[in-house]
Structure 1
Amino acid sequence: MNDANLDTIVELEERLARAMRTSDVPVLDELLADDLLFTNHQGMVVTKQEDLDVHRSGLLKLDSLDASDRSVRLLGNVAVVAVRVQLAGRYGNDSFEGRFRYTRVWALLGARWRIVAAHASVVAA
């Protein structure tokens, strides 16, 4: 891995954040691997289709998503990202706001980087 790959992962992370904020389903579809394994902050395993459906339906609306404290580890054709995120928005009729930690695993599949696994946890106040 080289600095170009590191820059690519950072750019993809930024693209992912923008797509999450705006519920840009086509971009999310492009960035998530078809067999994604995502464990959310409640411990539930969510598939790619379930994640896309939440954005597509409007059930999840993010008012803000501010990422900080990002670390990237490059391991061959895999990159592991740890990032702290301040989120605010609505899920259905319920508002939420909080700090979370995400760990994402990006893999180079063919010629494209995609997220193959992710985990979220709540950061205590």
Structure 2
Amino acid sequence: MTKEEILNLENRLYKAIKESDIKVLDELLHEDLLFVAPNGDVITKEIDLKTYRDGELNISELTPEVENLNIIDDLAVITLTIDLKGSYKAAPFGAKFRYIRFWKASAEGIKIVGGSGTQIGV
């Protein structure tokens, strides 16, 4: 696992989020994913994919800025800020968020196993 691999996976993730590409999201998210959403809800892989399948989340703009990326054995920890614009359940939003994401290498490849997002600005 290298920093370059993780940054490439992050870029695939951003594209999949913007395009609501459920196939790619399914590939990148680990079956046992746990993610704390900005509203405090704990999200599983199935909940996350359902949000995209049902069209509840639509992202029109996504501008990431990586802050830190550490590789620890078979785990990568990345922190970043993302300016997001879009709509959730038809309500428009636009804000700046800080995310932490955990990528883990396994027999199935490198996948997101956990993370969290917090709004830090408008």
Q: Considering the TM-score relative to the shorter chain, is it more than 0.5?
A: yes
Alpha-carbon separation, structure 1, partners of 2:45 and 2:66:
25
Q: State the partner residue of 1:76.
A: 73
The percentage of counterpart residues that share the same residue type is 34
Tell whether 2:75 aligns with 1:99. Answer: no
One-letter identity of the residue aligned with 2:71: L
Q: State the partner residue of 1:63.
A: 60
Alpha-carbon separation, structure 2, partners of 1:91 and 1:111:
31
One-letter identity of the residue aligned with 2:85: A
Deviation >6 Å, runs of 4+: none
Q: State the partner residue of 2:41.
A: 44
Shift of the 111–54 alpha-carbon distance from structure 1 to 2, 3 Å rule, reads closer
Q: Please, which runs of 5 or more residues in structure 2 have no aligned partner?
A: none
Q: Please, which runs of 5 or more residues in structure 1 have no aligned partner?
A: none
Once the two structures are TM-superposed, the CA of residue 117 in structure 1 deviates from its matched residue by 0.4
Q: Deviations over 1:11-68 (max 9, x none)?
A: 0000000000110000000000000000000111001000000111111111111101
Alpha-carbon separation, structure 2, partners of 1:121 and 1:93:
21
Q: State the partner residue of 2:21.
A: 24
TM-score, normalising length: structure 1: 0.94
Alpha-carbon separation, structure 2, partners of 1:54 and 1:33:
16
One-letter identity of the residue aligned with 1:76: D
Secondary structure of the residue aligned to 2:121 is: coil
Once the two structures are TM-superposed, the CA of residue 111 in structure 1 deviates from its matched residue by 4.9
Once the two structures are TM-superposed, the CA of residue 92 in structure 1 deviates from its matched residue by 1.6
Tell whether 2:118 aligns with 1:121. Answer: yes
Alpha-carbon separation, structure 1, partners of 2:11 and 2:121:
24
Aligned residues: 122
Once the two structures are TM-superposed, the CA of residue 70 in structure 1 deviates from its matched residue by 3.4
